[in-house]
Amino acid sequence: MDADRTGQSAPGTLLSVRGAERTFQVGGQKIPVLKGIDMELRPNQLVMLRGRSGSGKTTLLNMLGGLDVPTKGEIVFHGHAFHKLGDEERTAIRREKIGFIFQTYALMPLLSAWENVELSLRMAGAPRGEWKARVSHCLELVGLTKRADHRPYELSGGEQQRVAIAKAIAHRPAMLLADEPTAELDSQMGAQVMAVFREIIATENVTICMTTHDPTILEVADHVYEMVDGRFKAS
Ligand SMILES: Nc1ncnc2c1ncn2[C@@H]1O[C@H](COP(=O)(O)OP(=O)(O)OP(=O)(O)O)[C@@H](O)[C@H]1O
């Protein structure tokens, strides 16, 4: 990779965002959604983005994961300057180093929990000989060893979200991005998901950045960024 496409960030930084703006063009109109974001993610952190609906959390999360690029500003992940890379290059980095978790689990309905996690290793191109041990380890981490043969419809919402977490970490990403991962869960199941997140950070060398509306789970975060109308409120 040439020097132009690599980025420098401070030592110990996994991801850095500098002056990021995102404007969408709708019809003839320009709509500014992110208006100058600066943030940092360090290894083994749990970071939360909170803010009202429409404040720009999902737009930012998409940029952190290289699904979208800023109109202006810089995003450097793991030494890769996302703002200078094309779709294909960002996709390749994403496949290898980033995991995603969504509000609505995103599992394959006809596959068992085990097969869902295995699919993620298959897609990442992990050697077949490693699948069994890794799937088993990931399901154990999320406390679902006994549910390995169940299909999503045979699992509770919280269990399905934990399968989705096992699936997202199977290929050993450095960063996990989660958009409202507890929004569909009751408070007990939400707390279980947060406990799993803390466990994964402690044992899998991963940083998690998630959006949330739920004030009760903010206290487990290492850092909270509050977003108001496309900017971070000073904390
Ligand atoms: N592709 C797009 N084109 C035009 N406008 C967009 C696009 N994506 C997002 N927006 C607008 O940007 C604003 C922020 O949306 P975003 O989904 O980032 O907010 P959010 O904070 O994640 O909200 P929620 O909590 O409801 O998910 C909204 O007004 C939305 O309509």
CB 13 within 8 A of CB 60: no
Pick from 190, 231, 189: which is nearest to 214 by CA? 190
* Residues 134-166 pLDDT 10s: 999 999 999 999 999 999 999 999 999 999 999
CB 157 within 8 A of CB 185: yes
pLDDT at 60: 96
Asked whether residue 114 carries a pLDDT value surpassing 90, the answer given is yes
| Cβ of 212 less than 6 Å from ligand 1 | no
Give the Cα separation of 37 and 47 in Å (integer). 15
The residue to mutate among 22, 24, 231, 233, having the most atoms of ligand 1 within 8 angstroms of its beta carbon, is 24
pLDDT at 4: 45
For ligand 1, atom 18: residue with the closest CA: 56
| Cβ of 26 less than 6 Å from ligand 1 | yes
Residue in the block written with tokens 């406390």? 143
Q: Domain 44-67+90-232 belongs to what topology?
A: Rossmann fold (3.40.50)
CA 91 to ligand 1 center in whole angstroms? 22
CA 39 to ligand 1 center in whole angstroms? 19
Angle subtended by helix axes 128-141 and 187-204, to nearest 10 = 130
Count of alpha carbons within 13 angstroms of residue 37, beta-carbon side: 35
CA 26 to ligand 1 center in whole angstroms? 12
Give the rounded distance of the alpha carbon of 168 from its chain centre: 8
| Cβ of 44 less than 6 Å from ligand 1 | no
Give the global pTM. 0.91
* Mean pLDDT confidence for 48-67: 94
Q: Which residues of 125-162 are buried (b: 16+ CB within 10 A; e: fewer)?
A: ebeeeebeebbebbbebbebeebbebbbeebebbbbbb
The domain segmentation of the chain, as residue ranges, is: 44-67+90-232
Give the Cα separation of 216 and 223 in Å (integer). 14
For ligand 1, atom 13: residue with the closest CA: 54
* Residues 9-22 pLDDT 10s: 666 899 999 999 99
For ligand 1, atom 17: residue with the closest CA: 58
The DSSP 8-state label assigned to residue 6 in this structure reads B
